[in-house]
Chains A and B, each alone.
Chain A
Amino acid sequence: MKRKRISVLVGGEAGQGITRSGSLLAKALMRAGLNVFGVNDYPSVIRGSHNFYQLRASNGEVNSQGDEVDLVLALNKETILLHEAELAKGGGVVHDEGISFGEGELKRDDVALYPVPLRGIVEEIGGTPIMMNTVALGAASALIGLDPEIMKGVIADTFSGRFAIIEANSRAIQMGHDHIKGHSKVYQFDIEYSPEERDRIMPTGNDAVALGAIQAGCRFYAAYPMTPASPVLHYLIANDTEAGMIVVQSESEIAAATSIVGASFAGLRAMTATSGGGFCLMTEALGLAAMTENPMVVMLGQRPGPSTGMATYTSQGDLLFALHASQGEFPRVVLAPGDVDECFYLTMEAFNLAETFQIPAIILTDKYLIESHKSTEPFDPGRVGIDRGALIEKEEWEGPEEYRRFQITESGVSPRAVPGTRGVVVLANSNEHLERGYTTIDPGAVKAMVDKWFRKAEGLRRRVEGMSPLRIYGDEEPEITLVGWGSTKGPALDALSLLREEGVRARFVQVVYMEPFPGRELGTLLDSGGSLLLLETNRTAQLGRLIRLNCGVEFDHVHLRYDGRPFTPGEIWLKALEVLGR
């Protein structure tokens, strides 16, 4: 019987093209009709050291990398020794035929070894050593019954126009494939592919954020390189003309964030992205944006801290930091997408909210979310429109009276003219100021201005209440409710499926908007949620603290992970069963 899903792990040294080859295989499986999810794991080095890419493909739903691995493509021996224990019963390993094992070196006797002349084939076609990974992809396609032409098609599209590379890699695919076919009678991991054509894409979270920014009309992007957010900068700078965007590599995160405020003051939708360390440097600009009421969008891709922490791993340790960053009190919006679709659509919403309320918006993501691939429907550009709020787009001021940038209004939102508008002088001020923008310390004027900002906060809260700040999945009358945010969504949804198979009525509540926090709605949900299990990849249960603060709910059961690795569905499933006493 054909299987419904498969997990593949490609491993080797940094520099062996691990993420590239793993994602090529994931894309081929998507084109063959499967849903895919792929995550990379690598240390912060350019050469040497262990890297791997783990993908899961299924003709059902797939939201995470899963737990066990069916097939390991080992580009070195270390990969086999490190990942042997993760292999499912009856799993297989493709490796170079030159690798040999000492007595007792392999602990498992239930896995199939597929020695392939990875190096020999590369030498035969006169390729570079990195092409060993392509030969392994060819071998894998034979073992999983994937048409090697699909694999070649992905290669051809990826290396578009570079004919020698395409030619050599296509041969490597075919020869890897033929070697397995010549030595093995069955497709050991034959999967049921979905024959119907479905139009799908396989972006990372970073790709989706970048595309969301483009679709939202972001016209200025400035950033300083920092893992895991750098790919947004790479993508936008490579596509600046098509995107219609000014893209700048700044000299620091301070420069990036303050330049966003400048571009925004001049009337552009503007954004930056970074990780925690860079966000530390951006906090002064966050306050500047708030005080000068210039919209600002920041994507904060979390990784473990404090300080340099683990640059290439994942964490949800910056939630409370994002909520409180910068001195003083001001309204802000903090939203946490949980998959690639939400990365796209919530980025668009972030721009609308930032501009409508003239406040900073923080898109809170993490390495696991933004560097992992997931297949999905092509993004719908019309689902979230563009709302520029009180921006004055006319070239001339038509007001009866003199323009006041910080006019006191009932909504708290002041009409926003940009410099260059005829008849208008726009004065923004980081000092507390009067309506016209001039500095003030007058107690009455100060109070009126602060009250104006917080009327915006009320409007923001009402707006966000209508934007599904909470998302609910699974059983309507649950025995257990899993609560989490951000990238936990994927493993939690896959855990729901496992629990369902076990006959457990389980629900997952995803908190999407962290500020304004949907406390009332969440409190009601949790009251009728059965046993409650909080899931976060941090040490101090930061969402838990927010929930206690906003809803008065304490969690009896908390499962935290703070080793830099993402949750797996299996560990959540196990923990849920433990909570239920099963």
Chain B
Amino acid sequence: MSVRDLMTPSEITWCPGCGNFGILTAVRRALVELGLSREEVVAVTGIGCHGKFTNYINVNGIHVIHGRVLPVATAIKLANEDLTVIGFAGDGDAFNIGIGHFPHAARRNPDITYVIHDNLIYGLTTGQASATTTKGHVTKTSPRGLFEDAVNPIVQALAGGASFVARGFVGEPGQLTSILKEAISFPGFALVDILQPCVAWNRVNTYDFYRERAYKLEEESHDASDLMAAYERAMEWGDRIPIGVFYRKERPVYRENFPVLKEGPMARRSLEGIDISRLLEEFR
């Protein structure tokens, strides 16, 4: 499979310069470099600019509703562990309306990847503050400057018990691709929060903003097996913004708790010969 095989006839409607282009390219490249076939990958997208992703990448996909990427992606993976399941969500999708699902996915540890298109703003609905918008930022819904503290996706993931936690930046495509490859191959719940400028609605968190601040964790000998060190790095957001893998620790994946899945994927099991006679015994 080549990157070309992952293209679709759908016309791309993102703004020129949108960070989503970089994410799309990195994801396509990661899938190709991992040697996956389009039939074995499922993309699940939420609502927002990122949600058009399923139109633009030629793998199996289901574009769902606002905030519900995780329950759908978790269920698909439980149903068929042979599939590589990648959830894509925006910051509003993941950390405003959908945040209730996030710690549950993290603690269950399904073997899925959760990619956040984090542009610190609502793009498709034309520029309202999101959960990750910086405090003080003036937006359509924060005319006097946002008075709420931002949600920190990395801290949320660590606190929830996610076993792989990383942050990428679309301005660092090489590192982003390698983070995505690692996240997709990682056995367990893998969060990749991607800093992605919104050229239409966020004039603060621009490419230059991140270029001036971003530094790579792997270049500062960060120990990704150390949870407390990960927390410390996760709290950094100012003059220096860390990108790379914050935390990585394998633990049993969700499906291992279901004895019924020991025989392999549930999908495609025959429905013939079901026999409830033993179950009827207790009602006699």
Contact = CB atoms under 8 A, between A and B. Distances in A.
A240 B274 CA distance: 13
A273 B44 CA distance: 24
Nearest to B56: A438
Interface in B230-284: 258-261, 266-269, 271-272, 274-280, 282-284
Interface stretch (A8-16, A38-46, A416-424, A562-570): A416-424
Interface string B119-142: 000000000000000000000000
Interface stretch (B70-78, B167-175, B185-193, B194-202): B70-78
Contacts of A381: 274-277
25 contacts: A201-B280, A207-B283, A214-B274, A240-B260, A255-B100, A259-B74, A261-B64, A261-B72, A261-B75, A266-B79, A284-B68, A288-B64, A288-B68, A292-B62, A381-B275, A395-B268, A418-B80, A419-B80, A420-B83, A425-B61, A429-B61, A437-B61, A438-B9, A439-B52, A439-B55
B54 interface: yes
Contact of A262 (B8, B54, B79, B275): B79
A427 B100 contact: no
Contact of B266 (A215, A246, A251, A261): A246
Nearest to B52: A439
Contact of A259 (B75, B82, B275): B75
A122 to B, nearest CB: 26
B62 A428 contact: yes
Interface of B: 8-10, 38-40, 42, 44, 47, 52, 54-55, 58-65, 68, 70-76, 78-80, 82-83, 100-101, 104, 258-261, 266-269, 271-272, 274-280, 282-284
A438 B79 contact: no
Nearest to A157: B282
Contacts of A244: 260, 269, 274
Contact of B267 (A245, A255, A267, A431): A267
A211 B276 contact: yes
A501 interface: no
A563 B271 CA distance: 43
Centre residue among A243, A244, A265, A292 by max chain B CB count within 10 A: A265
A192 to B, nearest CB: 22
Interface in A289-321: 292
Interface string A441-455: 000000000000000
Contacts of B283: 201-203, 207
Given A428-B62, A439-B10, A222 B280 contact: no
Nearest to A378: B280
Contacts of B274: 214-215, 217, 244, 381
Contacts of B55: 429, 438-439
Nearest to B284: A201
B100 A219 contact: no
Contact of A430 (B9, B65, B268, B282): B65
B39 A421 contact: yes
A220 B58 contact: no
Contacts of A258: 64-65, 68, 71-72, 75
Interface of A: 31, 157, 199-203, 207, 211, 214-215, 217, 219-220, 222, 239-246, 248, 250-252, 254-256, 258-263, 265-270, 284-285, 287-288, 292, 378-379, 381, 386, 388, 393, 395, 418-431, 437-439
Contacts of A157: 282
Given A241-B260, A267-B267, A220 B75 contact: yes
A53 to B, nearest CB: 17
B230 to A, nearest CB: 24
A402 to B, nearest CB: 11
A61 to B, nearest CB: 19
B276 A429 contact: no
Given A259-B75, A267-B79, A267-B80, 15 more contacts: A200-B284, A220-B78, A241-B260, A252-B101, A255-B68, A262-B79, A263-B79, A268-B266, A268-B267, A419-B60, A420-B80, A422-B39, A425-B39, A429-B55, A430-B65
A252 B100 contact: yes
Contact of A260 (B75, B260, B267, B269): B75
A379 B276 contact: yes
B265 to A, nearest CB: 8
Contacts of A250: 71
Contacts of B70: 255
Contact of B42 (A199, A211, A395, A419): A419
Contacts of A421: 39
A248 B40 CA distance: 24
A251 B271 contact: no
Given A203-B283, A211-B280, A427 B60 contact: yes
Contacts of B52: 439
B75 A419 contact: no
A287 B68 CA distance: 13
A537 to B, nearest CB: 26
Contacts of A211: 276, 279-280
A202 B104 CA distance: 37
A265 B62 contact: yes
B72 A259 contact: yes
Interface pairs A-B: 8 shortest CB-CB:
A262-B75, A217-B271, A266-B79, A262-B72, A201-B283, A419-B60, A259-B75, A255-B71
